Amino acid sequence: MLITENTRDFICDNIDRLEDGELTFRGQRLTSLAKKYGTPLYLYDEEKIREKCRAYLGAVKAGFGSRAKVLYASKAASFKRLYEIMREEGMGIDVVSRGEIYTAHRAGFDLQNAYFHSNNKTDEDIEYAIDKGVGYFVADNAEELYAIERIAGAKDKACRVLLRITPGIDPHTYAAVATGKVDSKFGSAIETGQAMEITKVALSLPHVTLRGFHCHVGSQIFDAEIYLMTSRVMLDFVKDVYESLGYLADELDLGGGLGVRYIESQPTLDIASVILSVSDALKAHADELGITLPVICFEPGRSIVADAGLTLYTVGTVKDIPGYKTYVSVDGGMTDNPRYALYGSPYTILPVIASESEDREVSVVGRCCESGDILQEGVMLPSDTKRGDLLACLTTGAYHYSMASNYNRIPRPPVVILTKDSDYLAVRRESVEDVASLDL
C-alpha cells in the first residue's frame, strides 16, 4: 500500500497517516496504543463525541427553540463514561433496559431526562424505572400502559408517557433495522386505527400522563426526505387526535437514524442542514393544520458515536487458497463486531502500517469457530500482510461494544478513550475469570 495523497483522504476526519506510514487516530499513533493496551481494542475519540452532541444541540435549538430536546440513543454504545459525557454536554438519553438505566444512574445522570423505550417492558423493568426516577416511558402497546397504570397506582405516582406510533414509512434501508413500517414489531400503526385506540387508552388512565407521541422509522437513513415525510405524517396524526379526542400533544419525538459513513461511497450528512430542513417543513405544516407545534425531540445514537470509534486488531494467520481467496484472520471477530454477520454491514479496514507491496483482495475474518465469523469481504490489503501486523477497522463506535458477546467464551475488549493530549481506560479488558464469574 503506497502512501499517496489519496490514501490520506480518509472517510473520517479524525484519522490520518503520518509520513512514516503509520495510521493515527485523534492524532495518536495506533502502534503505541496497541502496545499499551493490547488488541483487540476499542478506541473512542472523546472530542468527536462532544462535537456531534454540540452539532445536534445547536441545530435543534436553532430550528425548534429552547424547549426542543436531543436524547442520546444509548443502545448504540452504553458504558459509564459515555453517560458522564452526555451529562456534561447537556444531552438527554433514551434507555431500553434496566442495565442501561443502572449504568446511567451510576454515572450520575439525572434520570428525569431519560426516556425508557422497549417493546416488552416487564413489571420488574417498570417498577425499577419508577423507583429510579426515570422521567418518561415510551409505551409500545396497551398491555404496557395497563402495567404502568397498575404499578404506578400502587406507588401513588403518575408516569409521563409518550406513545410509540408507527407512521407507515419504509426507509428502504436494511430490513432488520427498518422500524417504521405498518407491520413493524414496534409501536401502534396509524393506518390500522390502533394508534388512535391506544391514545384513547392512555387518556383514560389516572396514573398515566400522556405527553405526546414517538416514532422511529429506521437506521442508516441518508435521505432527508424520509424525515420530512415522517414528520408530516406524525403531525397529521397529532391534528387528528386533537380533533377526535380533544388532546393536543405537548411533545413529538421523531427518533433518530441518520446515516454515517462506513465506506467511501457513502455520503457525509450535514446534521444542521437535515435538522433545519425538518424544522422549516414542520413549522409550515403546523401553520397549515392550524395547531401549535409540539416540543420536538430527536434521538440520535449511531450518528453521535459511530465515527468516534475505531477497533484495532492483530493479524494471526494469512491463509491462501490458490484460485479462490485469501483469508486474513485477526484476534477479534464477531464477538466484538457481529454487524457483518447480522446485516452484511460494510466497513473500511486499513493496515496500520503502510507497505510498499501491491494490494490484494482478502477476506478479513475472526477467530471464532464459526464460518460466519467475518468482519469484511473484499478488503484490499498489502500482499505482504503477515502475522503480528495491526489492522484498523473504522467507524466502530456504534453497536460494537454494546453488541459484543462472549461467544466461544472469548473475553470482550477494553474501551479506551482518546482526547487531544491523552488516553484513558473507560472499560477494562475482560479476563477469562470474568467470563466464568457467574458459573456456580
In the structure grid, which three cell numbers stand for residue 52, read together?
A: 456531534
| pLDDT tens column, 257-267 | 899 999 999 99
Helix spans in 191-336 (H) = 194-204, 224-245, 271-289, 302-305
User: Is cis: bond before 40, omega within 30 of 0?
Assistant: yes
Tell me how far apart the alpha carbons of residues 344 and 339 are, in angstroms, rounded to a whole number: 7
User: Which string of DSSP letters, residue by residue, matches 93-139?
Assistant: EEE-SHHHHHHHHHTT--GGGEEE--S---HHHHHHHHHHT--EEEE
Q: How far, in whole angstroms, is CA 379 from its chain's centroid?
A: 25
Question: Alpha-carbon distance 402 to 77, whole Å?
Answer: 5
What domains, with CATH codes, occur in the chain? 6-45+307-435 (2.40.37.10), 117-300 (3.20.20.10)
- Nearest CA-CA partner of 353 in 22, 5, 20, 35: 22
Contact indicator for 8, 28 with CB cutoff of 8 Å: no
Q: Distance of CA 127 to CAs 124, 145, 155, 203, 214, Å?
A: 5, 13, 9, 21, 22
| Rounded Cα gap, residues 358 and 403, in angstroms | 35
- Quote the pLDDT of residue 4: 41
Contact 335/391 with Cβ under 8 angstroms? no
- Pick the closest to residue 155 from 126, 118, 114 (CA basis): 126
Which residue's C-alpha cell is 499517496?
Answer: 4
Report the chain's C-alpha Rg in angstroms: 23
Taking 50 as the pLDDT cut, the residues of the chain under it are 1-7, 171-181
Q: Report the pLDDT value the prediction gives residue 219, as an integer from 0 to 100.
A: 83
| pLDDT tens, residue by residue, 208-243 | 999 999 998 878 888 888 888 889 999 999 999 999
Q: Is 393 a catalytic residue?
A: no
- pLDDT score, position 178: 41
Q: Using CA atoms, how far apart are residues 339 and 31, in angstroms rounded to an integer?
A: 25
| pLDDT at residue 176 in the model | 40
Q: Which of 85, 46, 76 is nearest to 397 (CA)?
A: 76
pLDDT of residue 379: 98
E strands present in 140-187: 159-166
Q: Which three cell numbers stand for residue 332?
A: 477479534
Choose the catalytic residue: 12, 53, 368, 369.
369
Average pLDDT of the chain is 93
What was the pLDDT predicted at 179?
Answer: 42
